[in-house]
Structure 1
Amino acid sequence: MMRLETKEYAGMAAEVFQSAYVKYGSFEEVALKIGTTGHHVSDVAKGVSQPTVPIFFACLAEVAPWLPKEVMECIQKEGKKILAQKKTEDAARAAKEDGCPSVGCLPGRPEEAHA
């Protein structure tokens, strides 16, 4: 079997992360769908108000313990980049749907607030 480099692992895992996040829409769902064990599911069930990238990676580490530590760190960086990009895209989409030409504005703010 060919040995994958850290960046190759990171790229593959980042793709999985992105597609799972887009498909399920939340870290809780991603965590549940990738096959976490009871304690992660119960952490989510207890009402983690803002699920974070580390929850996802704790789950990933559990289902893929063969990933070396440096690979997990690299994947985590990629995951954070993807999440930031998705938030920016979501904000732009929401602004467009709200009829506001300014990206990153708050929905419902009067136009003069952008001046």
Structure 2
Amino acid sequence: MQLRARELRRAMTPAEKKLWTHLRFEQLDGAHFRRQHAVGPYIVDFFCAKAKLVVEVDGDIHAEPEQAKYDAERTQWLNEQKEYRVIRFWNNEVLNSIEGVLDAIHQALMREQ
């Protein structure tokens, strides 16, 4: 699992890279995020342990019915088994409206304090 997470860190999408530039080094509310982090049987895009927050950045494939079903099951597992909150953004939201995305993450972080 760790090897796969490392591979995913090296192959981040443009949207993931853009969001990471705003999350790394505790730039957003001092929250420490990890990228492509293993949580149980899954690898999540971004994870803040202190806030119990998972942030996912989804491409077009996530609109496909089978992938959407898998995502829902995964989110349910993260909610129920780990008590993590999961928020999702589309690639185009991150690429075109980063301020709105950062505000939504900020709001989620504030709810956990």
Q: TM-score, normalised by structure 2?
A: 0.31
The structure with the greater share of residues assigned to strand is 2
The structure with the greater share of residues assigned to helix is 1
Structure having the higher Rg: 1
